């Protein structure tokens, strides 16, 4: 079976977004949030089009979300909800890594680059899931991998998830249910609520994928989480 793969964060100046990044929205298509989301996605796809054509082969995406300086970086503004719509709009079979960060800044940036493999993080938790990702059973299987792990101290968190999936799987749809199961690491928003971790704490998110036909509908997921390095979420 293919081992989880990890990819480097794209580096470089990137492109300043012309429209403010928008969170995923599940409202009706005519809702103002949906309209603004579509406008942002289309404008960003147009901005990136020449660079996507030039990349060729496996590639990685980086979205750096700039938030107002008065905004608490570790409360809400969940990074997977920023990354998901843009990755969905740009995705092809060669997208193997998505990075997303948030920081205090006046602008947001986006960057695409050829994917470069990296070493596995020092400490990972790995589980093979057999349940549908749309069910609580999937989250329970993921949680089982981290249930005895020490909680990450209060503050900003860096999280990486590496998925190994079958060729028919849309790995982007695995992000949210996997993160929902990480309350032993991130803490809960309320003690009596399952599947509602304090995922606003994640200020640096890396998501990776490899394909292995032998897995069928199963998913192998490897989890690496730690306090965010000082300064990474709000550089000078």
- The full set of domain ranges for the chain reads 6-114, 120-227
State the pLDDT at residue 231: 60
What CATH number does domain 120-227 carry, 3.40.605.10, 3.30.1330.20, 3.40.50.12280, 3.40.50.620?
3.30.1330.20
Considering the chain, what is the average pLDDT of its residues? 94
**pLDDT per residue as tens digits for the range 94-118:** 999 999 999 999 999 999 999 999 9
- Model confidence at 51, pLDDT cuts 50, 70, 90, reads confident
Give the residue, 153 or 230, on which the prediction is more confident: 153
Residue 233 has pLDDT above 60, yes or no: no
Query: Is the Cβ–Cβ distance between 15 and 110 less than 8 Å?
Result: yes
Domains 6-114 and 120-227 share a fold: yes
Q: 6-114 — its CATH code?
A: 3.30.1330
- Model confidence at 236, pLDDT cuts 50, 70, 90, reads very low
State the pLDDT at residue 101: 98
- Model confidence at 89, pLDDT cuts 50, 70, 90, reads very high
Q: What distance in Å separates the CA atoms of residue 65 and residue 11, rounded to the nearest whole number?
A: 15
**pLDDT per residue as tens digits for the range 160-182:** 999 999 999 999 999 999 999 99
In the DSSP assignment, the letter for residue 188 is B
Q: How far is CA 169 from CA 24, 62, 139, 172, 211, in A?
A: 20, 22, 17, 9, 9
Q: Please report, rounded to a whole number, the percentage of residues in the chain having pLDDT higher than 90.
A: 92
Q: What distance in Å separates the CA atoms of residue 40 and residue 20, rounded to the nearest whole number?
A: 7
Q: What distance in Å separates the CA atoms of residue 167 and residue 62, rounded to the nearest whole number?
A: 23
């Amino acid at each position: 079976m293919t081992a989880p793969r990890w990819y480097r964060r794209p580096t470089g100046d990137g492109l300043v977004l012309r429209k403010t990044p928008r969170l995923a929205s599940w409202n009706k298509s005519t809702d103002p949030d949906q309209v603004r989301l579509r406008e942002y996605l289309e404008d960003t796809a147009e901005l990136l089009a020449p660079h996507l054509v030039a990349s060729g082969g496996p590639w990685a995406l980086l979205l750096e979300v700039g938030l107002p300086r008065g905004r608490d970086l570790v409360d809400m503004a969940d990074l997977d909800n920023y990354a998901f719509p843009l990755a969905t709009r740009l995705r092809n079979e060669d997208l193997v890594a998505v990075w997303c960060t948030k920081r205090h800044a006046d602008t947001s940036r986006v960057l695409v680059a050829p994917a470069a493999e990296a070493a596995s993080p020092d400490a990972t938790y790995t589980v093979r899931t057999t349940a549908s990702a749309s069910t609580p059973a999937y989250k329970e299987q993921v949680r089982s991998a981290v249930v005895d792990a020490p909680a990450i101290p209060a503050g900003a968190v860096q999280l990486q998830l590496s998925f190994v999936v079958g060729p028919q799987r849309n790995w982007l749809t695995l992000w949210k249910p996997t993160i929902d199961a990480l309350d032993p690491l991130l803490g809960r928003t309320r003690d009596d609520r399952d599947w509602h971790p304090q995922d606003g704490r994640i200020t640096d998110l890396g998501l990776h994928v490899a394909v292995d036909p032998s897995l069928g509908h199963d998913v192998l997921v490897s989890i690496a989480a730690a306090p965010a390095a000082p300064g990474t979420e709000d550089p000078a």
